[in-house]
């Protein structure tokens, strides 16, 4: 069946199987930034924004995105580059596999709570696992990014 | 130094954050067949028959492969140098399955749905065999995992397959029994560690296709591209010269991607079908069918005098390698060789043990590689001994631990599967690490414990650790530095960046040696057709071994450039000064840019390119002291980690922020193994928690604070004074946390993980005993 | 996990009919954990666009649509303070924000997950379930029901009462399911005590609450007895996360802490 989605500001039509999930549809369409981690809603790696909210695309039925705005990290290049600069300064980036999903989740947080405290940042991102960094350098980098006023 | 020891941003961080195609599955050709594997539901069985007729007949199925399609060639998935210290006991597919998750059949189809349908359509008849599911009963069990005649060792590793023994080893210095008899205090305890899962965020994946020269090109999530190439060639009898292995970015490895997993399967499918194919492990497959950490039972006996002199250590190990002996011997040996030398002043030390086969998911390489298991046992036992001696754990360690300029006879005796290499500790800042860590955690104030609230106590605990910097005389790395017009360089390295950012720190070493900046170094790594040899990312080898190769190549390139400049300037080499951009001599000046363009386009045209290799004669250990500050709820046994302070001696940090990331990532992975990660096998031999809903790694909310510092240290044999730093971080948390929890509530947990329930039970037991004694 | 077809019904009635007609038809309530919990779905019935996402505040109740997400609840101004924000707090304890953005209250109820934090908190609010066909039913009665029925949950109604409430959970990491969870409310001396993940699905401790409700004012001693009553009337068991014995010990500690919090002010505790 056909599903019409605004992906990063561009209207796209995807011909999908009824049970297809957004993760698979986006990856097949070339949005390689959307990545598979656990496939069971537990790790946050596949996070994309649907109407501005972080959701796990591995378990989000593609056809539910009909008429919605889907944002992958390709849709927020300037914000991702800004966050990357702080990650680079803090050495917080390591394997990078989780970073696009993290950029999206942090960007969503910036829209609603740019003054988030350390604990608010941790709670907001608790569903975004990272096995490389130990989290602390990421926290510092994310705080700097949120504090940055363009 | 201008580039080394500077916290520069990584080369690839920005592009990865922006989501550029970078990881293995991003490079699968769009028309690739999708590969799925039918895996055994039984821990031990003989395949009586496989009926693939229905599966093969499904529209869209390209191939279904079973053991009948493969020649029986024993190999090991371990992903080590050759000859491997792991037994050759695995077949691509076999008529026997030896753990739940073992491969039964390989399917390739046009899409995932069809591949899954084909897997479901394969009918297998199994003859169930009695499984061995307890390492304690494995030796001489009537059920033998590897009776097959092909299974063999490459050189003596104590391999006794008929007894379910994958490897064995023993060594001693002095007479432990005799020395123990002279000790005033002896502590003997048994410790258990778990089959921790690596949980790299990217699951194992590989894809394969034939290129324009009809060569087999494999992209894979591997830590060991050259070993993948060799092992695929051997196991599939496919010409090695026709195989190209490319490692793109990898989403974490931690040792889990040293193994050959998906690579050999996509290679087989591509060879059989001639078509491109891709295989991405599900998270369940990673848990069930890659490999885990070796669970161990360690009996540790320590003997000391009342004045706090440690005189003897006896360490007896039983290790469970699961169904295949990947890293069986070497992980187990590191349990001794990178742990016991910490206390080098003992009169006698003994190390012995057995690595057994069971019908569990295989165990293999995992950051820490035996040292974390041994460290938990030794550093817990040291604290237990201190309780008996009524001695401050810091004072005891200061008196007995390894110091700079000293050695241990163990270095010469024990290597990784072979004899070791004698070495003196030219750098060992353990005394500083211990003193500074004690300051950071306010040991004086917090040890042994402090009441925080009615039901809450705070306490600190610590442990010291050592690791290595590559395997001496075995691990080899090479690097090529190539000059380009305009005066920038290519750095070609076989070293394998798996997210630890080795491309960046190796470029920093090259830039420093060439006197240039990071933007003038273009790194290409881990493509077996393009980059020079490197054994791969394991054994904490990259900074030290690959780093030394890069330093040699860059230094040689600088000399070559000066020689060329001297010709142009009409003088001799020793008359030319080069600052990285300009050659200056009394006869004139010449920019690197002009020299480069001249060499390519105008006069005496030539390509300047230098390749150098490095193979270490020693493996200088990084050292650290780890201090855990915890608060324990006296009613529930819950533990809150308040801070984990690490003071590390890894020589010069090539990139201080990235080194900190290596330490902190290791610390948190070690904390996970200690407090949260609880791999469980069911009575049927299945991994019970084989997804991320039930297998819990630490989240951001469990990690409140990490304090990480580096000792000032300069290892003469390392590149710009560096030692390696990949693994050292993971070793201390199990013992430091166990020691802190003991200090807090008087409960000693010797079996990981340390769960609130175990602490609560310990507290109940203590309360009961106190009640009785009243 | 496989979904054969997807239905986008135009009305709740059409959705109901689809579900009633086929036992392998499943209302799609968010999708969290779908790949682990459901194997074969003949028809996934999408409920988007049927007005079930809304949270309405009436005088006496808060009406939460079955498709309201856990984040909708967590960020709702009235639910954020009702019973001390207990329900919102429970929603915030479920996985991370991305899951809270898709998981729905309806899915949490109809999933009937034993580990559910939301069910436990809802029980302590005296919530009532509203169905497309069936008469409204107290959540507590629904969980105790003898005969099952297939119906479409359309909403959950929560009485707006002035009272205190607290939700407590112990889990291994913040992303893990509960080893034990509990929720307690106190509305002018009328208590509701719910304990979940025992590891069975959440239940009310009725005897404990009824006895407390007889007493004014409640003393520390009464709370101790209520804890003992609750432990006696509820069943506890063992699984991979914890043993029965440890669960009882945790329930004892947490329940007393929770009861004190909803009974006394800070100084009295």
> Do C38 and C67 reside in the same domain of the chain?
no
Q: Which helix (H) or strand (E) holds B126?
A: strand B123-128
Cβ distance of C95 and A53 shorter than 8 Å:
no
Report the C-alpha gap between A75 and A9 in whole angstroms.
8
| DSSP 3-state of B569 | helix
User: What pLDDT sits at residue B13?
Assistant: 97
- Tell me which of C141, C159, C177 is where a domain ends: C159
The average confidence (pLDDT) of chain B is: 97
Chain B CB contacts of A73 below 8 Å: 17-19
**Beta strands at B216-220 and B205-210: parallel, antiparallel or unpaired:** antiparallel
> Do C150 and C209 reside in the same domain of the chain?
no
Q: Which of residues 106-165 of B touch C (CB under 8 A)?
A: 113
Chain A CB contacts of B10 below 8 Å: 88, 91, 93
Taking residues A27-39, report their average pLDDT.
94
Query: In this complex, is the C-beta atom of C266 within 8 Å of any C-beta atom belonging to chain B?
Result: no
Query: In this complex, is the C-beta atom of C7 within 8 Å of any C-beta atom belonging to chain B?
Result: no
User: What pLDDT sits at residue A27?
Assistant: 96
Which residue out of A24, A64, A68, A102 would a mutagenesis test of the C interface target, given it has the greatest number of C Cβ atoms within 10 Å? Answer: A64
pLDDT, tens only, B542-571 = 999 999 999 999 999 999 999 999 999 999
Domain A2-74 classification at class level: alpha beta
The CA distance from A4 to the nearest CA of chain B, in Å, is 22
Kindly report the number of other CB atoms within 10 A of residue C59's CB atom: 5
| Residue C191 located in a structural domain | yes
Q: What Cα–Cα distance (Å) separates residue A118 from each residue in A133, B169, B473, B639, B700?
A: 17, 50, 47, 21, 10
Alpha helices in B220-282 (DSSP H): 225-236, 262-273
Which among C36, C174, C246 has the least Cβ separation from residue B693? C36
> Do C81 and C124 reside in the same domain of the chain?
yes
**Is B30 or A150 the better-scoring residue by pLDDT?**
B30
Q: Which domains does chain B have, with CATH numbers?
A: 13-129+204-280 (3.90.1170.50), 296-470+618-773 (3.30.365.10), 476-615 (3.30.365.10)
Chain B CB contacts of C248 below 8 Å: none
Query: In this complex, is the C-beta atom of C38 within 8 Å of any C-beta atom belonging to chain A?
Result: no
- Tell me which of C159, C176, C192 is where a domain ends: C159
**Is the pLDDT assigned to residue B608 strictly greater than 70?**
yes
> What kind of architecture, by CATH, is found in domain A76-147?
Orthogonal Bundle (1.10)
| Residue C142 located in a structural domain | yes
Chain B CB contacts of A41 below 8 Å: 693
User: What pLDDT sits at residue A42?
Assistant: 93
> Do C34 and C88 reside in the same domain of the chain?
no
> Do C144 and C169 reside in the same domain of the chain?
no
Among all residues of chain B, which has the CA nearest to that of A34?
B19
Domain count of the fold of chain C: 3
pLDDT mean by block of 10 residues, chain C; 269 residues: 88 95 88 73 92 94 97 96 96 95 94 93 98 96 89 96 96 95 97 97 97 94 97 96 97 98 80
Which among C173, C175, C246 has the least Cβ separation from residue B760? C246
Contact C255, C184 (CB under 8 A): yes
Cβ distance of A88 and B202 shorter than 8 Å:
no
Taking residues B254-275, report their average pLDDT.
97
Q: Which of residues 281-300 of B touch C (CB under 8 A)?
A: none
Specify the DSSP class assigned to residue B249.
B
> Do C143 and C68 reside in the same domain of the chain?
yes
Query: In this complex, is the C-beta atom of C81 within 8 Å of any C-beta atom belonging to chain B?
Result: no
Kindly report the number of other CB atoms within 10 A of residue B381's CB atom: 24
| Residues in CB range of B15: below 8 A, 6 or more apart | B22
Query: In this complex, is the C-beta atom of C170 within 8 Å of any C-beta atom belonging to chain B?
Result: yes
User: What pLDDT sits at residue B647?
Assistant: 98
Query: In this complex, is the C-beta atom of C250 within 8 Å of any C-beta atom belonging to chain B?
Result: yes
Contact C105, C118 (CB under 8 A): yes
A150 — pLDDT class (breaks 50, 70, 90): low
- Domain of residue C85 covers 55-159
| Residue C215 located in a structural domain | yes
Domain-wise residue ranges, chain A: 2-74, 76-147
Angle formed by the axes of helices B756-773 and C244-263, to 10°?
90
pLDDT, tens only, B17-29 = 999 999 999 999 9
Contact B47, B67 (CB under 8 A): yes
Report the C-alpha gap between B419 and C137 in whole angstroms.
74
Among all residues of chain B, which has the CA nearest to that of A130?
B201
pLDDT, tens only, B98-151 = 999 999 999 999 999 999 999 999 999 999 999 999 999 999 999 999 999 999
> Do C140 and C205 reside in the same domain of the chain?
no
Report the C-alpha gap between B339 and B375 in whole angstroms.
6
Specify the DSSP class assigned to residue B48.
E
∠ CA C68-C164-C259, rounded to 5°: 115
**Is the pLDDT assigned to residue B385 strictly greater than 70?**
yes
> Do C207 and C239 reside in the same domain of the chain?
yes
The CA distance from B567 to the nearest CA of chain A, in Å, is 41
Which among B696, B755, B761 has the least Cβ separation from residue C175? B696
Can you say whether the dihedral through the CA atoms of C193, C195, C201, C206 is positive or negative?
Answer: negative
User: What pLDDT sits at residue B376?
Assistant: 98
**Is the pLDDT assigned to residue B639 strictly greater than 70?**
yes
Report the C-alpha gap between B299 and B316 in whole angstroms.
5
Beta strands in chain C (DSSP E): 2-7, 25-28, 40-46, 55-57, 61-65, 128-131, 137-138, 153-159, 164-171, 178-187, 190-196, 203-204
| DSSP 3-state of B161 | helix
Helices and strands in chain C, H and E counts: 11, 12
- Identify the chains in contact with B, defined as 3+ C-beta pairs within 8 A: A, C
Taking residues B424-439, report their average pLDDT.
98
The average confidence (pLDDT) of chain A is: 96
Largest CA distance in chain C: 59
Taking residues A120-130, report their average pLDDT.
97
CB pairs under 8 A between A and C: 86
Beta strands in C71-152 (DSSP E): 128-131, 137-138
- Tell me which of C101, C131, C159 is where a domain ends: C159
> Do C22 and C108 reside in the same domain of the chain?
no
Contact B638, B632 (CB under 8 A): yes
Report the C-alpha gap between A109 and A121 in whole angstroms.
8
Query: What CATH number is attached to the domain comprising C152?
Result: 3.30.465.10
């Amino acid at each position: 069946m056909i599903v019409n989605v605004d992906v990063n500001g561009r209207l796209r039509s995807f011909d999908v199987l009824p049970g297809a999930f957004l993760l698979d549809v986006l990856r097949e369409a070339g949005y390689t930034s959307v990545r598979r981690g656990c496939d069971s809603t537990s790790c946050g790696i596949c996070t994309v924004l649907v109407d501005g909210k972080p959701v796990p695309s591995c378990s989000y039925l593609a056809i539910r995105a009909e008429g919605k705005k889907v944002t992958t990290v390709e849709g927020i290049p300037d914000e991702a580059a800004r966050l990357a600069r702080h990650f680079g300064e803090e050495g917080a980036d390591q394997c990078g596999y989780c970073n696009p999903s993290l950029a999206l989740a942090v960007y969503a947080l910036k829209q609603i709570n740019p003054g988030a405290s350390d604990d608010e940042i941790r709670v907001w991102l608790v569903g975004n696992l990272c096995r490389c960094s130990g989290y602390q350098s990421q926290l510092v980098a994310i705080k700097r990014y949120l504090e940055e006023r363009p | 130094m201008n580039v080394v020891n500077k916290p520069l941003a990584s080369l690839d961080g920005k592009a990865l954050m922006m989501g550029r195609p970078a990881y293995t599955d991003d490079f699968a050709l769009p028309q690739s067949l999708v590969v799925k594997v039918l895996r055994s539901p039984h821990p031990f069985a003989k395949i009586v028959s496989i009926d693939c007729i229905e599966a093969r007949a499904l529209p869209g199925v390209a191939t279904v492969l079973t053991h009948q399609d493969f020649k029986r060639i024993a190999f090991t998935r371990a992903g080590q140098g050759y000859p491997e210290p792991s037994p050759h006991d695995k077949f691509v597919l076999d008529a026997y399955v030896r753990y739940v998750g073992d491969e039964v059949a390989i399917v390739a189809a046009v899409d995932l749905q069809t591949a899954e349908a084909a897997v479901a359509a394969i009918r297998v008849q199994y003859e169930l065999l009695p499984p061995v599911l307890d390492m304690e009963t494995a030796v001489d069990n009537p059920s033998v995992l590897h009776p097959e005649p092909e299974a063999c060792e490459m050189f003596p590793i104590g391999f006794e397959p008929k007894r379910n023994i994958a490897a064995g080893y023993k060594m001693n210095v002095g007479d432990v029994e005799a020395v123990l008899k002279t000790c005033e205090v002896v502590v003997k305890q048994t410790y258990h560690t778990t089959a921790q899962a690596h949980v790299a965020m990217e699951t194992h994946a590989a894809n394969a296709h034939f290129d324009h020269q009809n060569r087999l090109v494999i992209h894979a999530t591997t830590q060991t591209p050259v070993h993948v190439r060799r092992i695929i060639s051997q196991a599939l009898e496919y010409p090695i010269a026709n195989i190209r292995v490319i490692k793109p970015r990898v989403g974490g490895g931690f040792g889990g991607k040293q193994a050959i997993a998906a690579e050999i399967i996509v290679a087989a499918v591509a060879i059989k079908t001639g078509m491109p194919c891709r295989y991405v492990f599900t998270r369940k497959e990673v848990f069930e069918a890659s490999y885990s950490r070796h669970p161990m039972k360690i009996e540790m006996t320590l003997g000391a005098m009342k004045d706090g002199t440690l005189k003897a250590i006896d360490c007896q190990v039983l290790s469970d390698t699961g169904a295949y002996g990947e890293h069986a011997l070497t992980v187990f040996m590191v349990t001794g060789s990178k742990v016991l030398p910490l206390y080098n002043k003992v009169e006698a030390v003994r190390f012995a043990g057995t690595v057994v086969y069971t019908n569990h998911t295989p165990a293999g390489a995992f950051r820490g590689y035996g040292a974390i298991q041994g460290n938990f046992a030794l550093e817990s036992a040291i604290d237990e001994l201190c309780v008996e001696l009524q001695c401050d754990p810091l004072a005891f360690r200061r008196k007995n631990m390894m110091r700079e300029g000293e050695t241990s006879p163990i270095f010469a005796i024990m290597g990784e599967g072979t004899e070791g290499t004698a070495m003196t500790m030219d750098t060992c800042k353990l005394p500083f690490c211990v003193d500074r860590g004690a300051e950071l955690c306010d040991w004086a104030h917090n040890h042994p414990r402090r009441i925080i609230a009615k039901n809450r106590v705070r306490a600190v605990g610590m442990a010291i650790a050592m690791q290595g910097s590559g395997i001496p005389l075995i691990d080899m790395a090479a690097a090529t530095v190539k000059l380009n017009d305009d005066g920038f360089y290519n750095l070609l390295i076989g070293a394998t960046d798996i997210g630890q950012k080795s491309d960046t720190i190796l470029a920093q070493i090259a830039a420093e040696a060439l006197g240039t900046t990071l933007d003038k170094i273009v790194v290409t790594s881990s493509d077996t057709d393009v980059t020079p040899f490197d054994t791969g990312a394991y054994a904490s080898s990259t900074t030290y071994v690959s780093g030394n190769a890069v330093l040699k190549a860059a230094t040689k390139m600088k000399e070559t450039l000066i020689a060329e400049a001297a010709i142009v300037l009409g003088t001799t080499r020793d008359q030319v000064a080069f600052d990285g951009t300009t050659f200056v001599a009394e006869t004139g000046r010449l920019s690197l840019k002009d020299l480069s363009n001249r060499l390519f386009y105008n006069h005496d045209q030539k390509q300047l390119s230098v390749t150098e290799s490095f193979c270490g004669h020693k493996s200088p250990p990084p050292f650290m002291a780890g201090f855990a500050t915890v608060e324990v709820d006296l009613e529930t046994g819950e533990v809150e980690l308040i801070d984990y302070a690490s003071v590390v001696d890894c020589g010069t940090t090539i990139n201080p922020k990235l080194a900190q990331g290596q330490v902190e990532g290791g610390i948190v992975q070690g904390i996970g193994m200690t407090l949260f990660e609880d791999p469980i096998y069911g009575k049927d031999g299945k991994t019970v928690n084989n997804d991320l809903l039930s297998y819990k790694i630490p989240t951001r909310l469990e990690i409140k604070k990490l304090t990480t510092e580096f000792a000032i240290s300069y290892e003469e044999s390392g590149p710009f004074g560096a030692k390696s730093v990949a693994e050292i971080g993971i070793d201390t948390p199990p013992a430091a946390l166990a020691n802190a929890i003991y200090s807090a509530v008087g409960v000693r947990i010797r079996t990981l993980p340390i769960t609130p329930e175990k602490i609560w039970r310990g507290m109940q037991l203590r309360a009961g005993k106190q009640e009785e004694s009243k | 996990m496989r979904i054969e077809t997807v239905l986008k019904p135009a009305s709740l009635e059409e959705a109901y009919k689809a579900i009633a007609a086929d036992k392998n038809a499943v209302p799609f309530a968010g999708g969290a954990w779908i790949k682990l919990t459901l194997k074969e779905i003949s028809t996934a019935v999408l409920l988007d666009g049927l007005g079930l996402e809304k949270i309405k505040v009436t005088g006496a109740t808060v009406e939460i649509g079955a498709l309201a997400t856990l984040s909708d609840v967590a960020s709702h101004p009235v639910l954020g303070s009702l019973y001390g924000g207990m329900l919102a707090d429970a929603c915030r304890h479920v996985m991370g924000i991305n899951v809270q953005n898709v998981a729905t209250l309806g899915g949490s109820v109809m999933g009937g997950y034993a580990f559910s934090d939301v069910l436990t908190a809802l029980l302590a609010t005296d919530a009532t379930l509203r169905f497309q066909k069936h008469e409204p039913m107290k959540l507590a009665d629904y969980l105790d029901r003898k005969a099952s029925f297939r119906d479409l949950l359309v909403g959950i109604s929560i009485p707006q009462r002035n009272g205190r409430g607290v939700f407590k959970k112990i889990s291994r990491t913040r992303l893990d399911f509960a080893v034990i969870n509990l929720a307690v409310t106190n509305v002018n001396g009328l208590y509701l005590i719910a304990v979940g993940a025992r590891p069975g699905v959440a239940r009310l401790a009725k005897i404990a609450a009824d006895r407390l409700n007889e007493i004014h004012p409640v003393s520390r001693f009464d709370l101790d007895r209520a804890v003992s009553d609750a432990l006696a009337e509820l069943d506890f068991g063992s699984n991979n996360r914890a043993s029965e014995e440890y669960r009882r010990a945790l329930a004892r500690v947490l329940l007393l802490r929770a009861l004190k919090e909803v009974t006394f002010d800070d100084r009295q505790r």
